[in-house]
Amino acid sequence: MRTLAWEAIDKVAMQKRVMVVTDLDGSLLDDAYSWAAALPALEMIQARGIPLLLNSSKTMAEMREFANVLQTMAPVIAENGGLLAVHEASGLLDRHNVQERFNEYLIQLNGLSRHVILAKAHALRMRDAYRFEGFADWTDAQVREHTGLSETMARYSRSRYVSEPIVWHDTPDRQQLFEAELAKHAIRVVQGGRFLHLMGQVDKGDGMQAAIRLYQHVQPDSEWCVIALGDSANDLAMLEAADIAVVIPHADGPHIQPQAAHVVHASAPASVGWNQALLDLLDQYK
């Protein structure tokens, strides 16, 4: 890994079109789920017509709300890469080739269904008395207690296709055994910002690459410089697949270390660091 000063970013990349792909919790969003501190960078992105792709462990129902308020029609990558949603008015995907829809979005699903994941995980919990609980065990009110989400967003967060967030109450050794058992069924356990996420063999990098391919298909003469921003272990695949990886630090605890060609470390946590890092980068793309 190389940690680069701003002026050391590959000059070849400066000749390409820019695409921004971002995690939400702990990156664009602060602990209060606000992006207010990131408004200057968001306004610059919108003014320049730069695609802003949201890539999160959140559900499509949650992320549609964020996409609408942020006024982005770029693809949305939900549930840690297991779901790619494309706005039907974007022209990036032929609606006749997609079976799933979510309001104005066309949906592509990858990996295992949540039904299969829950069946395997809960069978192991019953058999071996693993101590954990997740969104499938909770009411909307309990999700609110664990997340601080509003009533509506808590309800949306339980509407899942391909993943299950859990809280682990057992020992680290038992967690390793649990993960090994799930791996036999092609189920991964990924550490997110607040929860462990049970999901199939896909990740945020897979979701991002699928979205990039859509742009390359409809704009074959364009070359893209992809700037990805994230803060947690489940962002590593996304960051390592980007041209420029921006690591958003945590106020406490270790920072992730992506093995990427161009790595920039933001100067502050969450939306404050997100904003400054993007302003500094985009200033080079005048």
Nearest to 130 by CA among 168, 88, 78: 168
C-alpha 266/C-alpha 231 separation (Å) is: 10
Cβ atoms of 31 and 270 closer than 8 Å: yes
Per-residue pLDDT of the chain (286 residues), as tens digits, is 334 444 445 554 556 899 999 999 999 999 999 999 999 999 999 999 999 999 999 999 999 999 999 999 999 999 999 999 999 999 998 776 676 889 999 999 988 999 999 999 999 999 999 999 999 999 999 999 999 999 999 999 999 999 999 999 999 999 999 999 999 999 999 887 789 999 999 999 999 999 999 999 999 999 999 999 999 988 999 999 999 999 999 988 678 999 988 999 999 999 999 999 999 999 887 6
Instruction: Please report which helix (H) or strand (E) contains residue 246, including its range.
Output: strand 244-247
Tens digits of residue pLDDT in 243-282: 999 999 998 867 899 998 899 999 999 999 999 999 999 9
Spatial separation of the C-alpha atoms in residues 185 and 91, rounded to whole Å: 37
pTM, whole model, 2 decimals? 0.86
